[in-house]
Amino acid sequence: MYVEVFLTVPRQRIERSVFSIRQRIAAAAERVGRRAGEVCLVAVTKTVGPEEIAVLRELGIMDFGENRVEQIRPKLEQIGTSVCWHMIGSIQRRKARDVAAFFDTVDSVDRVELAEVLQRRCEELDKRLRVLLEVNVSGETQKHGFNPESLGSVLGVLKGFDRLMVEGLMTMAPLDAPEVVLRSVFRGLRQLAEAHGLRELSMGMTDDFEIAIEEGATQVRIGRALFE
């Protein structure tokens, strides 16, 4: 009852959305001979409060994506550390210590300088941090991320950062792009991961996650569709 009093999104709506998204994930995986369990649903909860997150957790979702340090504080206080908190946004150097302290994984490491400061903050906190490297596969000038051609040298540098565990890659496809473009971007990230022996692929959001799953995504970031 406590959760129901403070919900801004009706519980029944969330339940219907989660059921629908899980069905779509399973169908997309089945189309290419994969299992639904191979795909982690990361709920992007930057637009809702801890009450909605509590409902999602009750429904079995354990991974939550936030893009601002100041927004995660009250959610951590109510939800705690029994779930996995993903930092999915761009990170300013001055926020790196809080990011290292509050998050379990950083899915948006987009430059070596950021990795360096996260390494130092993790040393101070005596902590290890899982990270994904953001790659600008589409080549859009307004997007963050490593150039695909530089990934090998970047991984070579990051081998010396013992507090950061590089588990995979992340990318964002162009908005409103045709399917052929989406598939090219997602396939490009998968090929990069395979070439460098990385297992995690975070790609696909509300509008394109099914295509991303068909192209090999192991994590999809879903926000809007959970609360519509």
**Per-residue three-class SS string for 159-199:** CCCCCEEEEEEECCCCCCCCHHHHHHHHHHHHHHHHHCCCC
- pLDDT on residue 6: 54
pLDDT at 1 over 70: no
d(Cα 148, Cα 131) in Å, to the nearest integer? Answer: 17
Its CATH architecture, for the domain 2-227, is: Alpha-Beta Barrel (3.20)
pLDDT at 7 over 80: no
**pLDDT bracket for residue 159 (50, 70, 90):** very high
Q: CB–CB of 197/152 below 8 Å?
A: no
Q: Which two tokens stand for residue 105?
A: 């994984």
Summarize the confidence of residues 130-149 as an average pLDDT: 92
- pLDDT on residue 5: 40
Q: How far is CA 220 from CA 6, 73, 117, 128, 147, in A?
A: 27, 24, 27, 23, 22
- pLDDT on residue 116: 97
- pLDDT on residue 154: 97
Q: Which tens digit of pLDDT belongs to each residue from 35-48?
A: 999 999 999 999 99
Q: Is the dihedral of CA 18, 167, 45, 83 positive or negative?
A: positive
- pLDDT on residue 2: 34
Q: Which tens digit of pLDDT belongs to each residue from 87-132?
A: 999 999 999 999 999 999 999 999 999 999 999 999 999 999 999 9
